[in-house]
Structures are given as structure tokens and as C-alpha cells.
Structure 1
């Protein structure tokens, strides 16, 4: 499932057509993807095929998300996205 969200300090002033959602929280690994969105798969491959197996962490079953600034342009070769991957320590299984 994909969705878009906006971080807010409190609920109560959102438009009626919007739902509210509170993320579960927990441990996340944060990566930066630099470059156009068309090569985003390269960042994901690095995270899941190189970084994760070499780390002490495993993928957790929670929300993955990205943070984009207000000037983000997916075609810009200098675009930057924060990529947040939910993780858990291998000993937390």
C-alpha cells in the first residue's frame, strides 16, 4: 500500500476528506538517495542486498517511508530523498 502523509504536531485541524494516522515507531535505518527517482531502485538494492545482510539488523514489518523537501523534483539529477527502513536487531527476533 502506498500513501502520502504530512507530519503535524497535533490532530484536529485536518480537512474532513483526510484521515489521521500515527506511525508505530521503533528503530529505523536512514539512508540518503541522491539522484533522479528513475535510479531509486539502485539505492533499495544496496540497502537490501548489501547493507542489511552485512549488518546486525533485519527488516522489520512496519512502515517504510521517504522524506522529501518542498523543492523535490524526481527528475533532478541532484534530488535528495531520505529513505527510512524499519529494522530490528537480529537478537530481537
Structure 2
């Protein structure tokens, strides 16, 4: 695995749908299935990317349990939040440092990839997790369930 880029993210506004789930009760497909048919109703889109966002409760990683629930979002970035489409909400991702990990593969490869980030890279880095949203940025090279699919995982960090 390549070393991540450390990026300072400016405050970002997203619009989309969210669901409460856990890793043991993964409802990601249900969430995206509800979002994709109505994604074009979002006004003021900043780009063509999609954002898969996790908002974890405080202490989620210190006391990891696959049954602990968190908020999962399917969203797009907007220039400003105006006229929210029906059944959609906005999420503000505050500014801060992120470790950006490029990923290539299918969803089946993600758990091992994440295990490396949290079990190997993070403990040996000069960073610790910060309590802000985590997200995957799915751009033009993203191809759902394709081994050639590429996306970037953004993990919120701060100096130890």
C-alpha cells in the first residue's frame, strides 16, 4: 500500500440521503439504491463525484464492535445548500486534515484495506484519528463492483 497523501480539506457541503447501520447490518446497497434514482434532483452540484460518508459516534474505533451503529450517507457535493429535494438532507463536513488513501478493487477487498489503514499505517504514523466524517470519494474512475474500480478513502486525522 502506498503512503497516503495528507490533505487539508476545506469545509464541504454535501446533499444526499443517510441511513443508520452497523458493519454487521450493512445497508449500503439499500442506501445507494434509494439515492441514485433521485440524485439528479440535487441543485448546485459542485462536481460529478459521489461521496460515501460515515459519521461514527465518539469512541467508535477505541471500543470497536461490528454491531455498533453509525450514520452512512450517499451524497454529492454542492456549492451551497438551496432547495433540498424531498427526502434529502445536507451534511457539513468540517475542515481538517485527512489521510487520503487511493484504492483499486471491489467492495470485497475493502475490509482488508481498512484493516491495514487502522491496524498498521495509523499506529505507526505521526497521526491519530480525528472525530470527523470519514468518506470515500468516487470519481470518474469508480466502476461499481469492478476490480479496476478506483476511489479515494479520506480518513480524518490530526497530529499525535
Name the TM tier (shorter chain). 0.7 to 0.9
- Structure 2 residue runs of 5 or longer lacking an equivalent are 1-70
Q: Which of the residues 97, 119, 125 maps onto 1:27?
A: 97
Superposition TM-score, scaled by structure 2 size = 0.52
Deviation at 1:71, TM superposition (A): 6.0
Unaligned regions of 5+ residues in structure 1, if any?
A: none
SS of 2:151 mapped into structure 1 = strand
Could you tell me which residue of structure 2 aligns to residue 10 of structure 1? 80
Q: Which residue number corresponds to residue 134 of structure 2?
A: 64
The alpha carbon displacement at 1:81 in A equals 1.4
Residue 57 of structure 1 and its aligned partner are, at CA, apart by 0.3
More strand by share: 2
Q: Structure 1 length as normaliser, TM-score?
A: 0.86
Q: Does 1:55 align with 2:125?
A: yes
CA shift at 1:19, angstroms? 1.1
Higher RCO, 1 vs 2 (CA within 8 Å, ≥6 residues apart): 1
Deviations 1:16-59 (A, max 9, x none): 32112211221100001111111111210111111111110001
